[in-house]
Amino acid sequence: MINIAVLGYGTVGSGVVEVIEENKAMINKKAAGELEVKYILDLREFPGDPYEDRVIHDFDRILDDDEVSIICETMGGTKAAYQFTKAALEKGKSVCTSNKELVAKHGPELLSIAKEHNCNYLFEASVGGGIPIIRPLNYSLTAERLQGITGILNGTTNYILSKMEREGADFETVLKRAQEKGYAERNPEADVEGHDACRKIAILSSLMMGKNVDSDKIMTEGITKITSADFAYAKAAGKSIKLLAMSRAVNEDEVMAMVAPAMIDVENPLSMVNGVFNAVLVTGNMLGDSMYYGKGAGKLPTASAVVSDVIDCARHQGRVIMCFWDKEEAKLAPVEETVRGFFVRVRAEALTRVQAAFPGGEALNVAGRSEDAGYFTPMLKEKEFMAKCEELGDMVLSKIRLA
């Protein structure tokens, strides 16, 4: 018998219990033992729930029970979740989590505690929900020198941008509808301002570098300024607009990472990732590109990834699964020094000024739009682009990076 405890009986926690129940026979075979949910920790009671009798409110009962060897942390947050995770690992209990905020903030410390105590801290569900991406980076691509990772890592914003693209609607209208349908939170800030994607690319970048990439140092821009007019120009140019989380290894110690909306060609495989789906494009020096696609959020997809980690822990009882993520900080390359092309949408009367500011680019007109004009700059340093936009002042209506 392999006894497990679930911390937090919300969407993901209850999904974990459901996945274990639904796929019991097959999971037990793969775990080489019988998984049993012994405790569910939550502040609430769940009268009528089939697992009502397992619900407890005191974490110490789990900590002090030597029969519990694996814990699923599906509470979220970085306070109680951090304390519980640390205490569990120090007792040699493995922890599997979907909590990206905690992994991004304390990942290397918790991994090193797990290593010291011969147990595991696994976090497949923290990035891309049900998409296997942590395990490929840790196990499958180990022969590669990883050069870059580009992902659509947030389902809420991808849903909003996809709807804006298809329906020609504005951000606020689509956000309101997404909230009504439960696809966006009442407080959508973490998603629409890019913070959620930032934490996820920090985790992936740390695994790419083998060093800690601090999410607080990653330049992050959300999607709130993207308009239906921007999509009209993108469409006319055969492009799409996506919130991309991007990371490039500059050298062994330095990484360029950012989260920002970007215009991408329709031939780019990431342009086909629509709605709440996520995808991660990984570039290695031997394999080239490989892409991982699937449901990046939701109860059962995320729970499935947590349970896959539980099975891994069950298979490796008393053994540490290697994870290359040191405490040493990776250096963040300044984004303003990167070279790329940009799309600018300007007031129609400013087009000649924009052409003079960025010679060698290409103007784009969209039928029926007389109030503004689009312009694709040639490749230039981001800081030069921003400085020229500053000079153009309120003539610039929007600016979007090309990827």
Beta carbon of residue 77, minimum distance to ligand HSE (angstroms, whole number) = 14
Q: Which residue has the tokens 């609607």?
A: 169
Complex with ligand HSE: residue 69 or 308, whichever CB lies closer: 308
How many residues of this chain interact with ligand HSE, rule: CB under 6 A?
8
**Where in 23-82 is the site for ligand HSE (CB under 6 A)?**
none
Chosen residue from 297, 330, 357, 403 binding ligand HSE by CB under 6 A: 297
372 binds ligand HSE (CB under 6 A): no
- Rounded Cα gap, residues 326 and 187, in angstroms: 34
Complex with ligand HSE: residue 54 or 199, whichever CB lies closer: 199
Beta carbon of residue 166, minimum distance to ligand HSE (angstroms, whole number) = 18
Complex with ligand HSE: residue 156 or 240, whichever CB lies closer: 156
Active site residue ranges: 200
Beta carbon of residue 386, minimum distance to ligand HSE (angstroms, whole number) = 29
Cα–Cα separations (whole angstroms), residue 32 to 29, 188, 344: 5, 41, 57
Phi, psi of 353 (to 5 degrees): -65, -40
- Rounded Cα gap, residues 115 and 377, in angstroms: 50
- Rounded Cα gap, residues 218 and 184, in angstroms: 23
Complex with ligand HSE: residue 40 or 125, whichever CB lies closer: 125
296 binds ligand HSE (CB under 6 A): yes
Complex with ligand HSE: residue 103 or 332, whichever CB lies closer: 103
**Where in 160-219 is the site for ligand HSE (CB under 6 A)?**
191, 196
97 binds ligand HSE (CB under 6 A): no
Complex with ligand HSE: residue 19 or 68, whichever CB lies closer: 19
Complex with ligand HSE: residue 156 or 271, whichever CB lies closer: 156
Beta carbon of residue 60, minimum distance to ligand HSE (angstroms, whole number) = 30
Beta carbon of residue 199, minimum distance to ligand HSE (angstroms, whole number) = 9
Q: In the chain, what's the furthest Cα-to-Cα distance? A: 74
Q: Are 55 and 42 in contact (CB under 8 A)?
A: yes
Chosen residue from 76, 107, 108, 129 binding ligand HSE by CB under 6 A: 129
Complex with ligand HSE: residue 196 or 382, whichever CB lies closer: 196
**Where in 141-170 is the site for ligand HSE (CB under 6 A)?**
154-156
Over the chain, what HEC string results?
CEEEEEECCCHHHHHHHHHHHHCHHHHHHHHCCCEEEEEEECCCCCCCCCCHHHEECCHHHHHCCCCEEEEEECCCCCCHHHHHHHHHHHCCCEEEECCHHHHHHHHHHHHHHHHHCCCCEECHHHCCCCCCCHHHHHHHCCCCCEEEEEEECCHHHHHHHHHHHHHCCCHHHHHHHHHHHCCCCCCCHHHHCCHHHHHHHHHHHHHHHCCECCHHHCEECCCCCCCHHHHHHHHHCCEEEEEEEEEEECCCCEEEEEEEEEEEECCCHHHHCCCCEEEEEEEECCCEEEEEEEECCCHHHHHHHHHHHHHHHHHCCCCCCCCCCCCCECEECCHHHCEECEEEEEEHHHHHHHHHHCCCCEEECCCCCCCEEEEECCCEEHHHHHHHHHHHHHHEEEEEEEC
| Sites of contact with ligand HSE (CB under 6 A) | 129, 154-156, 191, 196, 296-297
